[in-house]
Amino acid sequence: MEGQLQTRNVPNLTEIELAAIESGNNLADGHARYELTASQQKIINQLGEMYALAAEASPALLDQKAQSAFLTAVGQHSAMAGAEVLSCYSSSVAMEITARSLYTSGVRRVALIHPTFDNIPDILRGAGMDLTPMSEDSVMAGSGRLPAGAEVLFITTPNNPTGQVLLPEALTHWARECASKDAVLVLDSSFRGFDERAQYDHYAILVQEGCRYIIMEDTGKLWPTLDLKIGFLAFPRDERLPLHRIYTDILLGVSPLLMLLVQRFAEDAQDGGFSELHRFIRSNRALLRKRLSGIPATSFPDADSRISVERLALPAGFTGSDMRHALCERGVHVLPCRQFYWAEPEAGERYIRLALSRPPEMIRTAAAAICACIERG
Ligand code: EGV
C-alpha cells in the first residue's frame, strides 16, 4: 500500500526525463543530444549501404565484430576471450535479465551502491531483490567487508550522477571479497566511455581474482544516434546463473543493422572520436561551472567527474525538487537528485543534476535560469 502511494506521488527520474523531452531546454536525461561530428555524419550517410551489408552478413559475425570493436575501444581487452557477451537493446534490458536470473537461482540479497540512478534499485526490487545500501565512498575506498549475507555486490562505475570511478585497487579488493563468499560482482559501466580512468581491463582483474561477475556495457550515453544503441551483458562462460536462458526468453537477438552501426561508431570512437567527445564534455562542464561561479553558496561537489552529467549543490534553503519546478517554469528541465538517493531521499535534496551532452547554447540558457532562480530566492 505504502509502495503504491509512493509510486503515485513521486515520479521516477525517467518520468521526469520524459516530461522534458519535447522541451527546447532539456538538460534532464543523460542521452546524447547534439550534432553528429563530421566523421559520425559520414557513417550515417552510409546507412542505406549498411542496411544492404547487414542483410547479407552473418548475424553472429556482426555481433562479434561490434562487441569486439566496442570492448576494445573502452579498453576491455580480455573481455572477448573470457566472457560470453549478449547484445541487448538497452542496458536496462540487460539489467532486467540479470535481476530475473538472480531471482530464478534463489538469490535475494543485493548490496547496492548509494546513491545511483533510480531505475537500478527499482528494477532489482521489482524482480524481488532485497537491497542493502552501500555508500559510494565506502565502495570506492575499496576496503572493508561485504554486508553480512550479501550474495551480490552491485556497483555503478563511473557512478551516475557523481562520476566516481572504481579504481583498479578497489575493484581487486571487491573481487577478492566476493570470490571468498561466492558472491557475484555486478558492474554497470554505462558511463565508462567518458572516463579513461574507468578503461583499464576490468575483466583481467576479475578473472585473476576468480570472481563471479556480470558487467553491463552500454553505448547508449555516448553518441547522438537517436537512441539506436546496444547494452552488452557480459559474464564468464562457466557462470551458473541462467543468463543465457533468460536472455533467450526475451530476445532472439538485436538487429544486425544496429550491430553494424555500433561497430562503425566504436571504430570511429577509437580513431579519435572518444578524444573529441571528451573535449566536448570537458568544455561544456567548464562553461557551466564558469557561468555559475558568481552565485554564492552553490558548488559543484564532483570536482573530478568526467561523465556527461553534473551535480550542482544548492544554497541552504533550496531543495532540488523545488529548484526543478522553478526552473521548469522558466522552460529549463533538469533532474532533482532526491530519487538517486534511493535509501535516504532527503539526502539528495541538496542537489540537482544537469546533462552536459547538449549544445553549449543550452548550457548557457540553463545557467542563466539557475542564476535567476537563486537570486530571486
Ligand atoms: C540518465 C533512462 C531508463 C535512462 C537515463 C539515464 N531511464 N532507462 N529507464 O536511460 O542518467 O539520464 O540513465
pLDDT tens string 333-366: 999 999 999 999 999 999 999 999 999 999 999 9
* Ligand 1 site, residue 92, Cβ cutoff 6 A: yes
Return the pLDDT at 8: 63
Please tell me the residue having the least CA distance from ligand 1 atom 3: 14
Please tell me the residue having the least CA distance from ligand 1 atom 2: 14
The grid cell for 284 is: 561544456
Instruction: For residues 255 and 286, state if they share a domain.
Output: no
Pocket test for ligand 1, best of 12, 14, 192, 302 (most atoms within 8 A of CB): 14
Instruction: For residues 327 and 365, state if they share a domain.
Output: yes
Instruction: For residues 172 and 217, state if they share a domain.
Output: yes
Question: Could you write out the DSSP letters of every residue in 185-245?
Answer: EEEE-TTGGG-GGG-S-HHHHHHHTT-EEEEEEE-TTTS-STT---EEEEEETT--S-HHH
Q: What is residue 301's DSSP assignment?
A: S
* Ligand 1 site, residue 121, Cβ cutoff 6 A: no
**What is the average pLDDT score of the chain?**
96
Instruction: For residues 222 and 364, state if they share a domain.
Output: no
The Cα 125–Cα 80 span in angstroms is: 31
62 membership: H or E segment, kind and range? helix 59-73
Q: Residue 230: exposed, middle, or buried by beta-carbon count in 10 A (0-12, 13-18, 19+)?
A: buried
Instruction: For residues 76 and 203, state if they share a domain.
Output: yes
For residue 146, is it within any domain?
Answer: yes
Does this model's pTM top 0.85? My answer is: yes
User: Domain of 319?
Assistant: 2-36+272-376
Which ligand 1 atom is at minimum distance from the Cα of 161?
11
The CA-CA-CA angle for residues 235, 238, 242, to 5°, reads: 70
Please tell me the residue having the least CA distance from ligand 1 atom 8: 92
Gap from CA of 215 to ligand 1 centroid (Å): 17
Return the pLDDT at 36: 98
pLDDT digits (tens, 9 = 90+) for 47-62: 999 999 999 999 999 9
Instruction: For residues 164 and 280, state if they share a domain.
Output: no
The Cα 60–Cα 84 span in angstroms is: 13
Please tell me the residue having the least CA distance from ligand 1 atom 11: 30
Pocket test for ligand 1, best of 16, 31, 90 (most atoms within 8 A of CB): 31
pLDDT band at 6 (very low <50, low <70, confident <90, very high): low
The grid cell for 243 is: 543468463
The CA-CA-CA angle for residues 164, 166, 170, to 5°, reads: 140
| Total count of domains within the chain | 2
Show which of 212, 244, 268 is a domain's final residue.
Answer: 268
pLDDT digits (tens, 9 = 90+) for 160-214: 999 999 999 999 999 999 999 999 999 999 999 999 999 999 999 999 999 999 9
Instruction: For residues 110 and 9, state if they share a domain.
Output: no
Which ligand 1 atom is at minimum distance from the Cα of 355?
12
